[in-house]
Amino acid sequence: MSAELKFFPLQELLSDRYNSHLHQFLSDYKTSDPPIQQKYIDIREHMCYCVYRIEADFLLERNNMDNINRLGQLIIRYRENMAYYHDIKNAYNETECRDEYISPLLECFGWDVRNAKGKLPQYKEVVVERFSNSGERPDYTLTLNGVSKIFVEAKKPSVDITIEIEPAMQIRKYGWNAKHALAILTNFEDLLVYDTTGKPKAGETAVSSLYRRYHFDQYVEKYQEIADLISQDSVYSGHFDEIIQTDFQNDSRYTTQIDHTFLQHINRWRLEIGEHLYESSNKYQDISLLNDMVQDFINQIIFLRIKG
């Protein structure tokens, strides 16, 4: 007895209607060819898995687009009010920044900051520290079913976390003591990702052990790159562990460059000093001597800046 092969839409693959057709199809072969039955059972299982992956990938992509759109709105609002946040007279504080920007930022990367899923306290995705004294515990602990994976330390926008040493040392110590690989420091304007596999040392700067730095204008453009490092999906899928287990310390990392404004100052000083010396004495008509004198003076300026 022959069986008619039927095709069904994806949404019907797991439905009762599809199962009844499959059952009838296999019954037709029940006595004639058992291997064919197993073959089609294997096909069905594979098709079901494919449907699951398609649906999961679709939902993830849709969620990512929603998160990116929300993140874009946060960026616009922050840019419009940035001057206000930086003005110390307005007393815009860390708690306000956390509530208005940093918690939503983490949510844009999939974290259930407010425990909307209703998980038991010991299994919450994010542990939010509300009332601790400064320096006791990190502001956020991102977890894998309650097991801490990444610490996040928050600062207000008027704190320049790109140069101030204390906030960097604070978050690095948190990560180091917990044996974490990475830790995050952010005031929303900048998001700094630190390598915390090395013990912090006295005399280090805000860029010591800095693995990645993202300015808020880059959050949308580099959304997937950031998500790979800190998102809920990355942590819960195991991708985060894959990154830190593949010797990420040897990966290309953030490197500092000469401050653009300072470089402009140097070039201007070079011209002004050269013109002054050239006009003040005939001996500086010698271009080689003039260049040497100007460079010596510039070197002293740079040394004083670094030393300071």
Long-range contacts of 34-40 (CB under 8 A, 24+ apart): none
196-225 residues labelled b (16+ CB within 10 A) or e (exposed): bbeebeeeeebbbbbbbbbebeebeeebee
Which residue has tokens 């003076």? Answer: 297
pTM of the model: 0.65
Domain ranges of the chain: 55-250, 260-307
CATH class of 55-250: alpha beta
Residue 159 phi, psi (nearest 5): -90, 115
Query: Per-residue pLDDT tens for 251-306?
Result: 565 555 445 556 666 777 778 888 888 888 888 888 888 888 888 777 766 554 43
R_g (Cα) of the chain, nearest Å: 29
Query: Per-residue pLDDT tens for 77-132?
Result: 999 999 999 998 999 999 999 999 999 999 999 999 999 999 999 999 999 997 65
Q: Is the pLDDT of residue 6 over 50?
A: no
As a whole number of angstroms, the distance between CA 230 and CA 126 comes to 12
Mean pLDDT of 30-42: 57
**Given its phi and psi angles, is residue 118 left (phi above 0), alpha (psi -120 to 50 degrees) or beta?**
left
Q: Supply the mean pLDDT for the chain.
A: 80
Q: List the one residue out of 222, 198, 211, 224 whose CA is nearest residue 254.
A: 211
Q: Is the pLDDT of residue 5 over 60?
A: no
Long-range contacts of 229-233 (CB under 8 A, 24+ apart): 229/182, 229/193, 230/109, 230/142, 230/150, 230/182, 230/184, 230/193, 231/109, 231/110, 231/111, 232/109, 232/110, 232/111, 232/112, 232/125, 232/142, 233/60, 233/110
Considering only 45-59, 131-145, 186-200, which range has the smallest mean pLDDT? 45-59
- Whole-number Cα distances in Å, 286 to 229, 260, 268, 269, 275: 56, 30, 21, 19, 13
Residue scoring higher pLDDT (292 or 176): 176
As a whole number of angstroms, the distance between CA 36 and CA 42 comes to 10
**Two tokens at 223?**
């959304």
Name the β-bridge partners of 183. Answer: 151, 194
As a whole number of angstroms, the distance between CA 256 and CA 160 comes to 16
Task: Report the amino acid identity of residue 235.
Answer: V
Count of C-beta atoms within a 10 Å radius of residue 107? 19
pLDDT of residue 268: 75
Walk across the sheet containing 182-186 and list its strands.
126-128, 140-144, 147-154, 182-186, 190-195, 210-215
Residue scoring higher pLDDT (266 or 141): 141
Q: Is the pLDDT of residue 52 over 70?
A: no
SS3 14: coil
**What percent of the chain clears pLDDT 90, i.e. is strictly above it?**
54
Considering only 18-32, 80-94, 161-175, 264-278, which range has the smallest mean pLDDT? 18-32
